[in-house]
Amino acid sequence: MSHIFPRNCRQSPPVAVGGDGCYLIDASGKRYLDGSGGAAVSCLGHSDKAIVAAIKAQADTLAFAHTGFFTSEPAEQLADLLVANAPTGIDRVYLVSGGSEATEAAIKLARQYWVEKGEPQRGKLIARKQSYHGNTIGALSAGGNEWRRAQFAPLLLDISHIDPCYEYRLRQDGESPEDYGLRAAQALEDEILRLGPDTVMAFMAEPVVGATAGAVPPAPGYFKRIREICDRYGVLLILDEVMCGMGRTGTLFACEQDGVAPDIVCIAKGLGAGYQPIGAMLCTAEIYAAIESGSGFFQHGHTYIGHPTAAAAGHAVVSALLDRGLVQRAQQQGEKLAERLYDRFCQHPHVGDLRGRGLFRGIELVADRDSKAPFDPSQGVAGKIKKAAFEQGLICYPMSGTIDGRTGDHVLIAPPFIIEDAQLDELTDKLGRAMDAVI
């Protein structure tokens, strides 16, 4: 009997014993093509010798030193590398152990920034419906997925949620994508004015929405307008790139493609590529200066922040992404994946939308294409596709609640950047068979 507290008490998952490139191997010897990188984590696959060597070398030298007493060479080197390749204005890096820690740190930094600036009345955060920012209390409060929030509602912070930029569902007939992008962004200004501009500290959003909505990219011009609105009212822009960043969408930082620079940006998942748990919250020099010239102390922290071994892994991963041309490869292979998904599913009677950027692709499933009506949640379509694909030897990321946290189903595809053309064929074929078996 296992003493592990599993994610699902009614399932007994196989034991993973090995990794080989884009594949995971269980104790029976069965091989699974990792079509989702776990949760968009394993961008380098599961057997990158250079990353493993960097981890071993650091563990042999210095495994851990608490940041209350020391900094470390790997942490400094990783911060330098990230800032050198970050959006304009980003100057400081706060290393944590994962995505929820990164977004939690971002929310607290935004609050402390305004306190240090002498505007303590700014304490309100605006986020979006159908967003996901993590599972700690602050991060879950910022997230806009009602299913994830429901049972913890009495514990959550009071955060405003506006409609997402969700073109497939919310763009009106006859409305251009550009006009829709401006209309969607206007919801932010409307909410700032409703709350009172001098009470709002930040707006938080994923550049490309991941787990809860299935690789939903913004409409053209959306984030440029969002940036303008934030600047007009002095609101900080926090971008959550935990899932969509670090090359996943075809640029190192996802926001590069929208021509905007955030005040704070959160990364994780692909930062460690699964080889070590690591994330980071990055901020501008201006935000850092407010803390430095004020109290001089960010009132936050965890034991394992800036962990030397994790930082060494992160530095090796980012170096690999940049030096091996893997960010560009994610874009190139992503286009090939999009073509294969289009060829296989564009006429499928139960595929409503194919979307995404780079190697970050979503398939929205519908009961009826013409009306865009979703499947009844009682059918459990997403869960059944996940199970059928797993039986085929494919790991993918189907989720329910795409539309409002209760209705709608999608499949998220986010394979390693090293995926070969033949494996793209394998992924598409196995996913197609799984969907045919279920629907």
pLDDT in tens, 228-253: 999 999 999 999 999 999 999 999 99
CB 216 within 8 A of CB 166: yes
**CB within 8 Å of 135: residues ≥ 6 apart:** 100, 148
Q: How far apart are CA 296 and CA 391, in angstroms?
A: 54
For position 146, what pLDDT does the model report? 87
Which tokens is 156 given? 């959550």
pTM of the model: 0.97
Where are any strands of DSSP class E within 322-436? 351-357, 360-365, 394-395, 397-400, 409-413
Give tens-digit pLDDT for 74-96: 999 999 999 999 999 999 999 99
Q: How far apart are CA 310 and CA 271, in angstroms?
A: 10
- Angle (nearest 5°) at CA 175 between 170 and 176: 105
337 exposure class (CB count in 10 Å sphere: 0-12, 13-18, 19+): buried
SS3 273: coil
* pLDDT tens track, the chain, 439 positions: 899 999 999 999 999 999 999 999 999 999 999 999 999 999 999 999 999 999 999 999 999 999 999 999 999 999 999 999 999 999 999 999 999 999 999 999 999 999 999 999 999 999 999 999 999 999 999 999 888 999 999 999 999 999 999 999 999 999 999 999 999 999 999 999 999 999 999 999 999 999 999 999 999 999 999 999 999 999 999 999 999 999 999 999 999 999 999 999 999 999 999 999 999 999 999 999 999 999 999 999 999 999 999 999 999 999 999 999 999 999 999 999 999 999 999 999 999 999 999 999 999 999 999 999 999 999 999 999 999 999 999 999 999 999 999 999 999 999 999 999 999 999 999 999 999 999 9
For position 265, what pLDDT does the model report? 99
Q: How far apart are CA 187 and CA 203, in angstroms?
A: 12
For position 147, what pLDDT does the model report? 87
Residues in the chain, total: 439
Q: How far apart are CA 263 and CA 227, in angstroms?
A: 10
For position 1, what pLDDT does the model report? 81
SS3 216: strand
